[in-house]
């Protein structure tokens, strides 16, 4: 039988090829194929074949499922963690102390922490949802946060924008956010961009980071971030809320559906102002931050190809599968 192995991101450069077809004995498992690649695959890839590698069979993320039987025609995709390259700085004693409780997390450890330290994340906007994403990522030790959000704090922001303070009403949001983040973790570099996402700045801003936390309430901004992230091969986590409901999904370019597969155009009638509690914003923000941490550190299973739908009114959560739109103008190369 014959399978196709695709190499993505840095792995593609290390392998020197984007994909190859490999003949296998019937009954071959994924574990045997990976061992085979480590021993006899393209030179340079063995250093990537760690538990942190994301392995997909078709659309399924199966990186820990090494006993999975492969079938004729399977497409196996190998996606290394995206953290600004494989050169990750060592941890200082102070960092080992600060992050000790998460260093105990299975499959994370020293390597995961160093990947966070080497990484950069764009958070836009930085209000109820994005503020919580940024706060959790700063606590976790992401090295560089690029915050994009224009404008001044209003009284009606304060039920959910937890990085702000009452005394800051009428003042720009970002200096307040940066101060709060650095009060928590002085080693995080916070870059303040006093702009909302636009067609003029989105390519530049996405180009500065390894991953994108998409927390804007407006579809125009979310779809711009999606298109730039897909074009640049950057992971994007989309966080949305309304009243007491949340939606969360992850876009891994080349691997999963994108936001334009779900929303081919801006939905009509969507308004910036809507009913919501701060605790709902903090919930979806915390979940979004956890997705970013998993993607950068290379652990767990992401929401790529799935959407988490939650209703805090009755505390029901479910994951639904989402599919690529065949002629998606953003992620389907045939349509571009
Ligand atoms: Zn798409």
Domains 2-79 and 93-335 share a fold: no
Q: What is the pLDDT of residues 18-29, one digit of tens each?
A: 788 899 999 899
Q: For residue 334, what pLDDT is reported?
A: 57
Cβ(72)–Cβ(3) under 8 Å?
A: yes
Helix or strand (DSSP H, E) at 182: helix 173-184
Quickly tell me which residue has 């498992």 as its tokens: 29
28 Cα: distance to centroid of ligand 1 (angstroms):
33
3-state secondary structure of 293: helix
**What is the distance, to the nearest Å, from the Cα of residue 137 to the centroid of all Cα atoms in its chain?**
12
**CATH C-level class of 93-335:** alpha beta
| Centroid of ligand 1 to alpha carbon of 328 (angstroms) | 5
Pairwise CA distance, residues 135 & 223, whole Å:
24
Q: How far apart are CA 157 and CA 153, in angstroms?
A: 7
Backbone angles phi, psi at 267, to 5 degrees: -65, 140
Return residues with CB closer than 5 A to ligand 1 (ion): 258, 260-261, 328, 330-331
Could you give the angle at which helices 278-297 and 128-140 cross, rounded to 10 degrees?
Answer: 40
| pLDDT tens for each residue of the chain, 336 residues long | 999 988 877 677 677 777 888 999 998 999 888 888 887 777 767 777 777 777 888 877 776 578 889 999 998 888 776 654 446 788 999 999 999 999 999 999 999 999 999 999 999 999 999 999 999 999 999 999 999 999 999 999 999 999 999 999 999 999 999 999 999 999 999 999 999 999 999 999 999 999 999 999 999 999 999 999 999 999 999 999 999 999 999 999 999 999 999 999 888 777 778 899 999 999 999 999 999 999 999 999 999 999 999 999 999 999 999 999 999 999 987 554
Based on its alpha-carbon atoms, the radius of gyration of the chain, rounded to whole angstroms, reads 20
The predicted pLDDT at position 84 comes to: 46
Between the CA of 104 and the centroid of ligand 1 the distance, in Å, is: 37
User: In this predicted structure, what is the pLDDT of residue 82?
Assistant: 60
pLDDT digits (tens, 9 = 90+) for 238-287: 999 999 999 999 999 999 999 999 999 888 777 778 899 999 999 999 99
**Preceding peptide of 180 cis, ω within 30°:** no
CA of 120 to the centre of ligand 1 (A): 24
CA of 227 to the centre of ligand 1 (A): 9
Number of Cβ within a 10 Å radius of residue 193: 19
- Asked: is 2-79 a CATH 3.20.20.150 domain? The reply is no
The pLDDT score that the predictor gives to residue 13 is 64
Domain ranges in the chain? 2-79, 93-335
pLDDT at residue 55, as a whole number: 84
């Amino acid at each position: 039988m014959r399978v196709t192995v695709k190499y993505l991101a840095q792995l593609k450069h290390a392998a020197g090829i984007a994909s190859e077809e490999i003949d296998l004995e019937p009954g071959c498992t994924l574990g045997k194929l990976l061992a085979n690649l480590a021993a006899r695959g393209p030179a340079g890839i063995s250093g990537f074949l760690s538990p942190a590698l994301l392995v997909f069979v078709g659309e399924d993320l199966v990186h820990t499922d090494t006993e999975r039987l492969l079938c004729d025609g399977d497409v196996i995709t190998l996606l290394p963690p995206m953290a600004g390259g494989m050169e990750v700085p060592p941890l200082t004693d102070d960092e080992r102390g600060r992050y000790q409780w998460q260093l105990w997390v299975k499959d994370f450890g020293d390597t995961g922490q160093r990947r966070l330290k080497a990484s950069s994340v764009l958070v836009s906007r930085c209000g109820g949802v994005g503020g919580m994403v940024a706060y959790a990522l700063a606590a976790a030790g992401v090295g560089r946060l690029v915050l994009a959000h224009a404008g001044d704090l209003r009284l009606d922001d304060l039920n959910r924008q937890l990085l702000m303070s009452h005394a800051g009403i009428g003042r720009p949001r970002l200096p307040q956010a940066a101060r709060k983040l650095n009060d928590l973790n002085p080693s995080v570099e916070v870059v303040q961009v006093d702009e909302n996402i636009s067609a003029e700045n989105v390519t530049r801003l996405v180009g500065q980071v390894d991953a994108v936390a998409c927390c804007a309430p407006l579809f125009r901004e979310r779809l711009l971030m999606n298109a730039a992230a897909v074009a640049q091969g950057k992971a994007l986590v989309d966080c949305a809320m309304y009243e007491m409901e949340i939606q969360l999904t992850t876009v891994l370019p080349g691997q999963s559906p994108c936001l334009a597969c779900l929303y081919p155009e801006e939905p009509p009638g969507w308004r910036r102002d809507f009913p919501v509690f701060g605790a709902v914003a903090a919930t979806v923000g915390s979940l979004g931050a956890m997705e970013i941490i998993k993607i950068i550190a290379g652990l767990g299973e992401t929401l790529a190809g799935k959407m988490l739908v939650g209703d805090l009114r009755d505390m029901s959560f479910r994951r639904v599968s989402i599919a690529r739109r065949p002629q998606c103008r953003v992620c389907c190369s045939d349509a571009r």
